[in-house]
Structure 1
């Protein structure tokens, strides 16, 4: 039995001091109070972060280099940064690239650690809101294509971003029936169209405010639809560049536990259709179009606290428990509780990472 003693833990009920966390065989066995004096040097222990939309790390953009080595390198880098669960994301691309990436994840899944599967962002989006996505690859889905895609994916496709106003209801229903999380995004849907999609079962929204119909006083758009809906969730990029920090603040106040963090992070790439260039803390395409972020999940949490008026406890939930709940893994990850995986991040008082544990094993940093 391993343990970390007399710690400040972020539990589902909030911050608790003077706690021992005991873990064995990859699982948290017990969390209990410690009556010893508080260690003034002790930092904090968070659950491991969960990022449901990231394209690459450590110089490896997965769609440009779909290989076993690439996903291993991405996993290693993200683990060192405290991300103990992620979906590797593919932007709109050719069927050949999608199939190559899916084939790699299918082969790798028995070895996989923190890679939970694939998030396909496109190609079934609206070209009017394509952002950095390649227009030539965007198309409407057919039910036959979706069936073939999921058959080939064999359970590796966990999430899909699409524009519901351009897709047939039977396509969306088939994805939902096959336990794919459907996210409304890169869409010009009206308030009514977005509300219909959420009522049909579409669970979430991709990078709120970016690449979607805006909130206007005479045309409420997607943001108002997700604000008003009782269950629909949304991801948001809290880098201050994709969304102003004050807007993140407002969204968090309105949506509460329905809003979660993603990095939407990419890495520099000079090959293929997505050639991301680092410029002043962000990534752009060669034509200057804003693409992915340069964020980590920890920096997202820090930004929420420092710039968005969000409490640390809520920001941690946005980076851990809420995304875990969306993908129905909240009992095994995303929180510190007995029976959950021993995935957690140890930070010092300055909120810098000192240790990362994944299934009870410390990750070398």
Structure 2
């Protein structure tokens, strides 16, 4: 049995909410065994030298559109998903929610079919951003495909989506309590986004079952001193979590820092990353550090989760340990994934090793080196 063990040595391990030195991380099969002293490593164990790097839980991205040059909405296929998953895991993201923006119902159905049949240990499900958004805050979403929520249509969508639909971004001011209940009763985690909700409307939504906020500050009612809007309601909530894009473009780093101080463990990282494409209804143009539509509307980031962590530390004054939690533990907790986003006995052996320059060196997915 010892021959199936892997010990990651000579690293700084992030476990039990702190960074520790002098112990090896022991993996057995697809699970974490524990951290052990070097002289406690079982005989015959495969040794992996972290070379002084950080050994941390694999990152979890709850909003990602593509990777490896492939955009899932432009080609909702298993082949595209293969390329996306391969690229994301290599970059340190060992759990991701493939995301579909507002689109035709036909394209959404194709995406549901693929996600319900596709199996990959890093794929956590599908995040549907739209089509039930507020046109006033549509951002890069095409106005002609944004729809008003109707109970019968949403019930039919849920039937077609099956078990793959895990998260849905909605404009909660467009919904009534019954329709929100229909979604939450079917296990869909609701997130408020592309919304013009007032403070009162957002607060009511949080009390009615909306548990999260999508890319805080982007495509939503602004925080104003006489109308605090959706961001203000998010800050004042004691339950609502929020994702944020830490690229310094979607949100200024000082705004990221302020949000972190106000929200604590309710704020987590996403990339909202896309890929350049000239197919389908979204034309994403790479601008060097971001993606835009042809009219220069900001349409997605060029981030990886590793870069998001680095930006939090370098530019927003967030300690490394907390930035790591924002990229792993907090999104896992929101989804109720107790065995993900952490390094502890029994957790999934999803591990990233990176160096002092925040460059990913090695990745393990379910105990297998990628």
Query: TM-score normalised to the size of structure 1?
Result: 0.96
Question: Distance between the aligned counterparts of 2:303 and 2:63, measured in 1?
Answer: 12
Question: Distance between the aligned counterparts of 1:299 and 1:306, measured in 2?
Answer: 10
Q: Are 2:7 and 1:7 aligned?
A: no
Question: Distance between the aligned counterparts of 1:157 and 1:41, measured in 2?
Answer: 40
How far apart are 1:144 and its partner, in Å?
Answer: 1.5
**SS state of the match for residue 264, structure 2?**
helix
Moved more, 341-350 or 216-225: 341-350
Q: Is the 8 A contact 1:43 1:351 kept in 2?
A: no
| Aligned with residue 331 of structure 2, among 323, 328, 331 | 323
How far apart are 1:41 and its partner, in Å?
Answer: 4.4
**Which ranges of structure 2 fall in alignment gaps of 5 or more residues?**
41-48
After superposition, what is the alpha-carbon deviation per residue over 1:224-271, rounded to whole angstroms, capped at 9, x for unaligned? 101010010000000000000000000001101000000000000001
How far apart are 1:5 and its partner, in Å?
Answer: 2.2
Q: Name 1:156's counterpart in structure 2.
A: 164
Please show how residues 60-209 of structure 1 align to structure 2 within 5 Å: 60-108=70-118, 111-209=119-217
| Aligned with residue 23 of structure 2, among 11, 19, 26 | 19
Q: Is the 8 A contact 2:57 2:352 kept in 1?
A: yes
How far apart are 1:40 and its partner, in Å?
Answer: 11
Moved more, 333-342 or 145-154: 145-154
Question: Distance between the aligned counterparts of 2:61 and 2:168, measured in 1?
Answer: 15
RMSD: 1.4
**SS state of the match for residue 56, structure 2?**
strand
Please show how residues 263-282 of structure 1 align to structure 2 within 5 Å: 263-282=271-290
Query: TM-score normalised to the size of structure 2?
Result: 0.94
Q: Is the 8 A contact 2:13 2:20 kept in 1?
A: yes
Q: Is the 8 A contact 1:6 1:34 kept in 2?
A: no
**SS state of the match for residue 351, structure 1?**
coil
**SS state of the match for residue 22, structure 1?**
strand
Question: Distance between the aligned counterparts of 2:143 and 2:356, measured in 1?
Answer: 46
Q: Is the 8 A contact 1:261 1:319 kept in 2?
A: yes
Q: Is the 8 A contact 1:87 1:116 kept in 2?
A: yes
